Structure 1
Amino acid sequence: MSPLLRVEGLWKLYHGNPVLRGIDLDVNAHEVVCLIGASGSGKSTLLRCVNLLETADDGAIFLEGEEITDVRADPDRVRRGIGMVFQAYNLFPHMTVLENVTLAPVRVHGRPRAEAAELGRELLARFGLLDKAGEYPDRLSGGQQQRVAIVRALAVRPRLMLLDEVTSALDPELVLEVLGVIRELKESGMTMILATHEMGFARDIADTVCFLDGGVLLEKGTPEQIFTDPREPRTREFLRRVLDARRL
């Protein structure tokens, strides 16, 4: 069976400096892939290239067999099948929670407002946010805002979810709140690629872990293999530094 997403030989340069260097990655339907690595290793850039927010300089990306990096591909149409959640919540402050959630289904996908609102309420209820439907974002905690951002991405019924360090802006006590939502998405069969610094969570939730270093996908394997017996010295060094920092 062909992968849902295939990345082949992907290069991305900024001002002539390579940020991604020949990335190859397959993601199967219902698979959860966690991207780990130091800041600046290319994790966020890879996600942005997959969502066509950045233009690849070389290589190709295929979604369900279609080359979405082809110059003839319509980025807006492609993004309709991909949900993306960023480090910052990016909620519209002048809209209520429900209005934030229903905006894309109505404006981009052309769904009737009543149908979009019904789905929005179902998703908010699923993640314990229905009582916040009429609130504005500034009345919510950081964890609640990030959960709304995830619900907003789900409201377009994506085939693929991309999550970019979605817990990095949260206080530690709110991190578990958001990770619980991601765990539920995995249980429901959502295909996801996550860039994360939460090593324990990556080990728990991932089917595949990818270690990026200097724009290179240096090592890929199961959580068990990556976290207990990494092959590459750089992977071992990174994990040792991260774990030592957590003990401080």
Structure 2
Amino acid sequence: MSLLTIEGVWKNFHGHPVLRGIDLEVNPHEVVSLIGASGSGKSTLLRCVNLLETVDDGTIYLDGEEITDPRADVDQVRKRLGIVFQAFNLFPHMTVLDNITLAPRQVHRVERARAEEQAYDLLSRFGLAEKARAYPDQLSGGQQQRVAIIRALATQPRLMLLDEVTSALDPALVVEVLGIIRELKESGMTMILTTHEMGFCRDISDTVCFLDGGVLLEKGPPEQIFTAPEQPRTQEFLRSVLESGRF
């Protein structure tokens, strides 16, 4: 059974359709990348999955449960999801350790000692153990984004949603964050990510989805999408990316 199923999802903003009948299945341990121009609906789709936006039509299922049902417990749904945005969104007045343990302690009711033990395990795993007592403004941008990902992992989510997590970083720091995503894939984490890093997308994805004007126009294995796309709009987009040097 798929971990996430999206069926016929529409989303409008001020009468303008941003998502137009999206259908998508994500299987356990699969990495799905969403690509497309800015404004194509990629981030909105992630926000709909995390229930930060209410869909106007269609249904979304997580582990077979319809999470778009108005009677669904939003807090319980979000306990199974981790989401990381372009902005790091770390609490500046809290240490790295406190940022990471906040949700496990306050939402999942994990005892402080256990939450801190788990946090140190994650920080060590991703090479940041020595930063546990540091504050966000004492970290580089790459370190802050890695902490944001670790914070999302601390709740042991079923599915990770990563929204352009490298777009706010200097090129030299991008590799730090891509490394942590690569390790998540190797550990079997199920992920949906939006990215403009086409080379990385091709390397890490099981499925690549091209969105255009709110429509999921084409999807398939990365080799198919990047070497033999069927849709003219996909071909045009990839050609423009190649010409821009972002591939």
Into which bin does the TM-score normalised by the smaller protein fall? over 0.9
Mark the runs of 5 or more structure 2 residues left unpaired by the alignment: none
Match of 2:128 in 1: 129
Match of 1:171 in 2: 170
Match of 2:45 in 1: 46
Give a deviation string over 1:95-150, Cα, whole Å, max 9, x none. Answer: 00000000000000001010000000000000000000000000000000000000
> Is 1:68 the counterpart of 2:104 in the alignment?
no
* Alpha-carbon offset, residue 247 of structure 1: 7.1
Runs of 4+ in 1 over 3 A off after TM superposition: none
1:99-178 equivalent positions in 2, closer than 5 A: 99-178=98-177
Q: Distance in 1 between matches of 2:212 and 2:189?
A: 27
Match of 1:183 in 2: 182
Match of 1:202 in 2: 201
* Corresponding letter in the other structure for 1:180: G
Match of 1:231 in 2: 230
Match of 1:81 in 2: 80
Query: Is the CA contact 2:197–2:246 (under 8 Å) kept in the aligned structure 1?
Result: no
Q: Distance in 2 between matches of 1:113 and 1:59?
A: 40
* Corresponding letter in the other structure for 2:77: V
Match of 1:8 in 2: 7
Secondary structure of the residue aligned to 2:216 is: strand
Match of 1:18 in 2: 17
The TM-score, its normalising length taken from structure 1, stands at: 0.99
Give a deviation string over 1:45-93, Cα, whole Å, max 9, x none. Answer: 0000000000000000000000000000011110000000000000000
May I ask how many residue pairs the two structures share in their alignment?
A: 247
Q: Distance in 2 between matches of 1:19 and 1:25?
A: 16
> Is 1:217 the counterpart of 2:216 in the alignment?
yes
Q: Distance in 1 between matches of 2:145 and 2:51?
A: 22
The TM-score, its normalising length taken from structure 2, stands at: 0.99
* Corresponding letter in the other structure for 1:31: E
Query: Is the CA contact 2:198–2:246 (under 8 Å) kept in the aligned structure 1?
Result: no
Q: Distance in 2 between matches of 1:84 and 1:29?
A: 17
* Corresponding letter in the other structure for 1:182: I
Q: Distance in 1 between matches of 2:11 and 2:232?
A: 25
Q: Distance in 2 between matches of 1:114 and 1:52?
A: 31
Give a deviation string over 1:15-49, Cα, whole Å, max 9, x none. Answer: 01000000000000000000000000000000000
Q: Distance in 2 between matches of 1:40 and 1:124?
A: 34
Q: Distance in 2 between matches of 1:18 and 1:70?
A: 21
* Corresponding letter in the other structure for 1:12: K
